[in-house]
């Protein structure tokens, strides 16, 4: 009768049931989508300030730190009469090649102005290679601070652009140094990914230092 037990396992798997608990584990994708982790990395967006100015200053730090060489940035001088971003320069050209991007989030941590953030959107299918190279006009949020939806992006089944941003902490927030304790690690200006500010983690004394003081 052992072979019948094997068929039973096969039928349970075919029906989408977990053989240990008896509960169905298969979801009706894309109508049902599993919740994504808080720090899930997906498609990037370029943000603006509340006055509509772009946060990107064309410093190219994101391109320099990218291990996949998928980001291409070229800055240009601002027009004094009609500046695009605060300061002297702005991001004139900004491109991300998603055929190369590994979603490591290093570009987000390198950005000094929090111009680039990652959403939790990963469901996009390209019909040609040029669609996989997002340009600045496609990455930049609108005047309402929300990202643009490209024709090949799937936003149904649970994706909420007002909520589903990747949680992250800046590298300069308290990663071990007490002098950063209590600093806000997330700006509240207009832009996709705006959420409650993150505070710093508590600076715990090292075990060796504790023993030395006793």
CATH at 68: 3.30.70.3270
Two tokens at 29? 């994708």
Preceding omega of 53 cis (within 30 degrees of 0):
no
Residue range(s) defining the domain that contains residue 177? 43-193
**Would residue 20 count as lying in a domain?**
no
Phi, psi of 87, deg, nearest 5? 95, -160
- Output the pLDDT for position 171: 44
**pTM of the model as a whole:** 0.70
DSSP 64: H
**Would residue 12 count as lying in a domain?**
no
If one compares 7 and 158, the residue with the highest pLDDT of the two is 7
**Would residue 79 count as lying in a domain?**
yes
- Output the pLDDT for position 138: 92
> Where residue 101 falls among pLDDT bands split at 50, 70, 90?
very high
If one compares 173 and 212, the residue with the highest pLDDT of the two is 212
| DSSP SS3 for 12 | helix
Arithmetic mean of pLDDT, 48-71? 91
Arithmetic mean of pLDDT, 191-210? 52
**Would residue 136 count as lying in a domain?**
yes
| 139-166 pLDDT, tens digit each | 998 877 788 888 888 777 556 666 666 6
Most confident of 19-28, 55-64, 103-112, 169-178: 55-64
How many domains are contained in the chain?
1
Q: Give the chain's count of helices (H) and strands (E).
A: 5, 5
**Would residue 27 count as lying in a domain?**
no
**Would residue 113 count as lying in a domain?**
yes
């Amino acid at each position: 009768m052992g072979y019948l037990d094997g068929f039973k396992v096969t039928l349970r798997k075919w029906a989408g049931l977990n053989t240990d608990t008896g509960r169905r584990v298969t979801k009706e994708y894309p109508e049902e989508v599993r919740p994504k982790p808080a720090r899930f990395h997906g498609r990037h967006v370029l943000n603006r300030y509340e006055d509509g100015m772009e946060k990107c200053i064309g410093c190219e730090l994101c391109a320099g730190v990218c291990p996949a060489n998928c980001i291409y940035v070229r800055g240009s001088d601002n027009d004094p009469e009609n500046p695009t971003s605060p300061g002297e320069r702005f991001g004139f050209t900004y491109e991300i090649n998603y055929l190369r991007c590994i979603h490591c989030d290093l570009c987000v941590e390198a950005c000094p102005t929090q111009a680039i953030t990652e959403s939790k959107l990963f469901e996009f299918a390209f019909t040609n290679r040029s669609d996989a190279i997002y340009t600045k006009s496609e990455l930049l949020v609108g005047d309402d601070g929300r990202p643009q939806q490209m024709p090949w992006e799937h936003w149904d089944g649970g994706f909420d652009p007002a909520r589903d941003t990747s949680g992250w902490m800046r590298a300069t927030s308290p990663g071990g140094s007490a002098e950063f304790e209590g600093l806000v690690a997330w700006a509240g200006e207009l832009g996709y990914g705006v959420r409650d500010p993150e505070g710093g983690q508590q600076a715990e004394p090292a075990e060796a230092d504790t023993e030395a003081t006793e």
